[in-house]
A and B are shown apart, each in its own frame.
Chain A
Amino acid sequence: MSKQYAYYPGCSAMGSSIEYDISTRALCKSLGVELVDIPDWNCCGSTPAHASDHLLSASLVARNLAIAESMDVEGIITPCPSCLKNLKTTSLRMQRKDFHEKVESIVERPVRADLPIRSVLQTVVEHCSPQSIAEHVSKPLKSLKVVPYYGCIMNRPPDVMTFDDPENPTSLDRLMGALGAEVLPFPHKVDCCGASLGLVRRELVTRLSGRILDAAASLGADAIVTACPMCQLNLDLRQNQINRANGTQHSMPIFYYTQLAGLALGQSESCLRMDKLCVSPAKALQQVGAPAQEERAR
């Protein structure tokens, strides 16, 4: 029985991480997780909103919650951990009556804020167990050594996210293992990449993200697997910057887990938009036996 979810793609999915969105939709489709876009959704306000005003942040989120609540769905799912955190935090804060009333008066519509909210990753891991996913695999990711990188907010704060272990999460590890990849134990799996500080304090990102790349390379990983658009952007798009700043020469492809899952489930590279990755995944893909169809176009 397929389950319908209100899908909240988030702003990155419309631009910097369009390949995440595309591959997410493809993965969900092949696993029978039915996504229905929340019509006319708006940005959750991201970091700027919650950093300046909780009420503003909550109101932006509440509008989306209200629309989703009118949709007759199992719950809301989103691929982006940052959107997820805003959705969940708001839903929790709305349990306070006075806050709830304030938000409703701003969005001018009733909001129940009681729909279950999950990440796509949690839905995939919890609804389709890694074993049953393994049964779908047509092209196992044999001989690909990956390090799973969850980022800092996929599992934290634990009381809000209520998913996996906040210090040593293993859902991505198990998923990648089920897809046939060799998963290396990665000590930096929940470290921060510097997030949006890349705009205002670039040296911080080059240091933090650089450390993640260094560690992955020293472990002998072929690729980093991530579930966060922000992490992916910092590690992938900024990899040259990081190399320049730290005097390193990394050429580490940064995949979305949905891309690698799609690949293992037999989807084509072009439909997974591997071409959107900045650091060429060609070598890694060759290792899995997938001929790189197109080099990155720039």
Chain B
Amino acid sequence: MNIGVFVCHCGSNIAGTVDTEKVAEAARSFPDVAFSTDTMYACSEPGQAGIIDAIKEYGLDGIVVASCTPRMHEATFRKTLERAGLNKYLFEMANIREHVSWIGKDKEANTNKATELVKMAVAKLRNNTELHAGEFEINKRVMVIGGGVAGIQAALDCADGGLEVILVERESSIGGKMAKLDKTFPTVDCSSCILGPRMVDVAQHPNITLYAMSEVESVNGFVGNFDVSIRKKATYVDWEACTGCGQCMEKCPSKKAEDHFNEGVGTTTAINIPFPQAIPKKAVINANACIMLSKGKCGACAKLCPTQAIRFEQQDEVVQEQVGAIIAATGYDLFDHTLYGEYGGGRYPDVITSIQYERLLSASGPTGGHIKRPSDGKEPRNVVFIQCVGSRDPSVNRPYCSGFCCMYTAKQAILTKDHIPDSQSHVFYMDIRSPGKLYDEFTRRAMEEYGARYIRGRVSTIQPRNGHYVVKGADTIMGTQVEVEADLVVLAVGAEASKGAGELAEKLRISYDGYGFFMEGHPKLKPVETNTAGVYLAGSCQGPKDIPSSVAQGSAAASKVQSLFSKDKLASDPQVSSVAMQRCVGCAKCESTCPFGAIEMTEFRGMPKASVVETVCQGCGVCAVTCPQGAIQLQHFTDNQILAEVNALCPY
């Protein structure tokens, strides 16, 4: 084998603390190395051209590049090899940037370590073999999980592009958080007027199948060929028959059911359609509140329903779907403000959350758009907004900024003045974060045109006194403590990962961070991909986002699916496990440890044997270390390859 070694300077990133010339020189003495040099930027066009020239000039058949992490440029260099006519698996990368130059300042020690890493890479490469990718067919249907604005956008973009879309929503209507908003910033236009038509588009689109009141139960398979089971939860109403006329709601005697859509402001009937623009506009029975389902009496809705759609005996149903790609758009939940004992923690009736206030502002909300205090129904004069409740606060494990609270607070301050002209809004803030288009102008308008009084400082406590609240806090610009009397306090609650996000991530086999938000493939270069092929992200499931960003990401995810589906066949990754049949004793330990379910037990000449489903295998290697016989080898990371690396490092 003729091996070529290229030691990259990466400008001063590596050359600043590693003597790259010396590393290249040392590499010349390693076995099979026919050519070795240092190069300014191996990944640049001239850098790659140098590699191709060397391959041709010296007849090289294997290449080692000592540079940055393979996460950054392994794919780049593999393509370079292919352009030079070599198999792309005859390539190794030694990470001398993240593992050496960035973490140590001692040039001599760094140079030695870099040399050793190159030595290991050469040793492994000598054991590499050509690997060849297979091909498999793909199913060009896509499942979108979550019917909020991001999911709706993704579903519509895919469907308009001619793809068949399965949209799964766990609530009885799509629309998500945006449907609950009264107005949107920075244009103060009606939220449901923008979203409503898009929701209707979803309902009417011939390419979209909508599963509302449904949850993803399990996901099997791999990119291009996912098998999904979806649990359609019992609604106790035959949605085929239901016309959404709402007569059942008028006559339902159980009127104290929790009004989920109105965020607990007010109550609703046991059978209900959550809001007038709901899609699908179908009634659902809340089993806990329904007298018939809990006590066996009543049945008023069944008697009244003009289409006889009520089905008290209905059960959950599980349906199977096959799709080729999945877009997760499961959104976020709002922070539970009861963790802030000093703000009343749910004890004070007139200390409410921003989304509850949004429902009070909404014309379709429980008060018909009139701002009324929950305690006595009076119109408030002084409204205090407190920002960063559950944002930027490590003490409640929410150190991150939720990003949109500054803006919606400014919007609510403006709307408050619109609704009650002689009212005064006070906003306690930490800083104003309004980086979007026309956003800063908007918060300024809240202050300058609408006279909202912005006070920089955190609130220490809220105390009820004589029918209103005393909000005590610091004014860190004036350097004093302030007390503001409030008739109503609105907590600008931050965002947190949606309930059950972790479980869904595990079903989808994608990563999530410590707070439950799904992890993108790369924070800058792969913002909507995940590390699992064929699974994409849109909206706030990846981190708090406002409407424009959610929509943009929904479209981005859809375009990723389109480009994935632009091919009829996908290449499979050959870096998978393979079983040596003669050594396998059929103990099935590998089958039980494989986290992806990629190993099946088969029979070979009457003996049980393990077999790898190559398209499902993710190449993690857990099976290889589990096998007591050493019968499973992970291609490109075989025992021989790894031992060669170890021997190169520990020669004695």
Contact = CB atoms under 8 A, between A and B. Distances in A.
Interface of A: 165-168, 185, 187-188, 191, 215, 218
Nearest to B340: A167
A188 B466 CA distance: 14
19 contacts: A165-B341, A166-B341, A167-B340, A167-B341, A167-B342, A167-B345, A168-B341, A168-B345, A168-B347, A185-B347, A187-B463, A187-B464, A187-B465, A188-B463, A191-B461, A215-B463, A215-B465, A218-B465, A218-B466
Contacts of A168: 341, 345, 347
- B: contact size bracket: 10 to 19
Interface of B: 340-342, 345, 347, 461, 463-466
A210 to B, nearest CB: 14
A20 B341 CA distance: 29
| Interface of A (DSSP majority class) | loop
Contacts, number: 20
Q: Can you list the 3 inter-chain pairs with the closest CB atoms, starting with the nearest?
A: A167-B341, A187-B463, A168-B341
A216 to B, nearest CB: 12
Nearest to B338: A168
Contacts of B345: 167-168
Contacts of A166: 341
A215 B341 CA distance: 19
A218 B341 CA distance: 22
Contacts of B340: 167
Considering residues B345, B463, B466, which has the most beta carbons from chain A within 10 angstroms of its beta carbon? B463
B466 to A, nearest CB: 7
Contacts of A187: 463-465
Contacts of B461: 167, 191
Nearest to A214: B465
Given A167-B461, A191-B461, 6 more contacts: A166-B341, A168-B341, A168-B345, A187-B463, A187-B465, A215-B465
A153 B466 CA distance: 27
Contacts of B347: 168, 185
B389 to A, nearest CB: 13
Contacts of B341: 165-168
Nearest to A169: B341
A122 B340 CA distance: 23
B489 to A, nearest CB: 13
A165 B344 CA distance: 12
A246 to B, nearest CB: 15
A166 B347 CA distance: 15
Nearest to B466: A218
B241 to A, nearest CB: 50
Contacts of A215: 463, 465
A241 B158 CA distance: 75
Contacts of A218: 465-466
Contacts of B465: 187, 215, 218
Pick the most buried of A185, A187, A188: most chain B CB atoms within 10 A of its CB.
A187
A237 to B, nearest CB: 25
Contacts of A185: 347
Contacts of A165: 341
Nearest to B472: A191
A167 B342 CA distance: 5
Contacts of A167: 340-342, 345, 461
A166 B345 CA distance: 12
A46 B439 CA distance: 52
A167 B459 CA distance: 13
A166 B396 CA distance: 13
A168 B340 CA distance: 10
A160 to B, nearest CB: 14
A168 B347 CA distance: 10
Nearest to A188: B463
Nearest to A158: B395
Contacts of A191: 461
B440 to A, nearest CB: 34
A218 B466 CA distance: 8
A176 to B, nearest CB: 18
B464 to A, nearest CB: 5
A191 to B, nearest CB: 8
Contacts of B466: 218
A191 B463 CA distance: 11
A273 to B, nearest CB: 33
Contacts of B464: 187
